[in-house]
Structure 1
Amino acid sequence: MLNQKAYNKKISTTKLTYSGMLVALSAVGAMIKYPGTSIALDSMPGFFASLFLGPAYGAIVAALGHLLTATTSGFPLTIPMHLVITLEMAVTAYIFGKLYKKGFRIIANIVAIILNGPVSSSIAAALAIPLGLPLYGLGLFSVIIIPLTIASIINIVFATLLYEIILKNRR
């Protein structure tokens, strides 16, 4: 029988292993891009990790997933912009996991889709102006809001469904 310290270490090792596998899945999702954009299906593993491993792990996996997508796309919005988006992804995944774990499942999905779609698009568009990007403001917003919101819906709903299927099969 394991003492509490050994038990906690075992759980941490397990969660770290799962996190690594989910980051690898983010790399695969990073290669599946919305046509004509750098928007990809990289965040599903992060949202899933928020539910399966906890919000903090989900935030890390989602952030790393975005960095993988930005890297495979050549950082089209500049490195500083992608670092801000990385932070947005981490915060969104964390909030999603917290709300979901508190029993607000539908609200968690809606909030995460809004944060990852329209809110993220707005922040990116607003930050593009001081960074001097050629496509900025309303132009950037209008180009990314629809594909980003569609990708958000796909990533978040699929993560939720996968988690619920696993939960159901564990019982």
Structure 2
Amino acid sequence: MTQSLRLKRLTLVAVLLALCVVGANVKIMGSIAFDSAPAFLGAILLGPIDGAFLGFFGHMVSAALSGFPLTLPIHLVIAVMMAICMFAFGWIRKRFGRSRLATIVISDIVGYLINVPLEIAPLYLMMNAAIFAFFIPLTIATVLNLVVCELVYAFLPQSIKTKPYLRSEIK
């Protein structure tokens, strides 16, 4: 990849990071916010590794802005689960096609399953039954973040979706 393409890719990562910070300020409950929509978008446009980075960073910023209400260790677990969620979401989109309807539905379902029920499992060990109070707000936030991501991606011009620095073959 040329220096110019690397710079454009890095710029897009920086813009998406900034959007994660903006979204982290739009709270639904506690540290649950709109920080993951840019991470989901980054996972589609840039791939699973960049998406995982954005998901981890987005949650940590959201939690920090809330004062780590559930403690730092719990938020680290959530951030790791967000990274796993974005990686799986981005991998599915990269592997099976970004715009195929079946791929979109499957990646969104997998994103939801990792971000809500599978994330609750390890947190149950740390928080016991209190974690279930987060199920509905987390479900609402995840669905809304996925909808925002899919709408933004759907309305992106094809010329942007096919830029060379976004191609999955480029490392």
- Normalising by the smaller structure, the TM-score range is 0.7 to 0.9
* Whole-Å separation in 1 of the counterparts to 2:108 and 2:133: 23
> What SS class does the counterpart of residue 102 from structure 1 fall into?
helix
Give the AA of the match of 1:62: G
Runs of 5+ consecutive residues of structure 2 not aligned to the other structure: 97-102, 163-171
CA RMSD in angstroms comes to: 1.7
Q: Tell me which residue corresponds to 1:144.
A: 134
* Whole-Å separation in 1 of the counterparts to 2:52 and 2:157: 21
> What SS class does the counterpart of residue 149 from structure 2 fall into?
helix
* Whole-Å separation in 2 of the counterparts to 1:82 and 1:11: 34
1:49 paired residue among 22, 37, 42: 42
TM-score by length of 1: 0.83
Q: Tell me which residue corresponds to 1:10.
A: 4
Return the structure number with greater relative CO, CA threshold 8 A, min gap 6: 2
Q: Between Structure 1 and Structure 2, how many residues are aligned?
A: 155
Report deviation, 1:90.
0.8
- Percent identical across equivalent pairs? 35
Alignment of 1:1-171 (within 5 A): 7=2, 9-35=3-29, 37-103=30-96, 104-126=103-125, 128=126, 136-140=127-131, 142-168=132-158, 170=160
> What SS class does the counterpart of residue 76 from structure 1 fall into?
coil
Runs of 5+ consecutive residues of structure 1 not aligned to the other structure: 129-135
Following TM superposition, where does structure 1 have runs of at least 4 consecutive aligned residues deviating by more than 3 angstroms? 167-171
TM-score by length of 2: 0.83
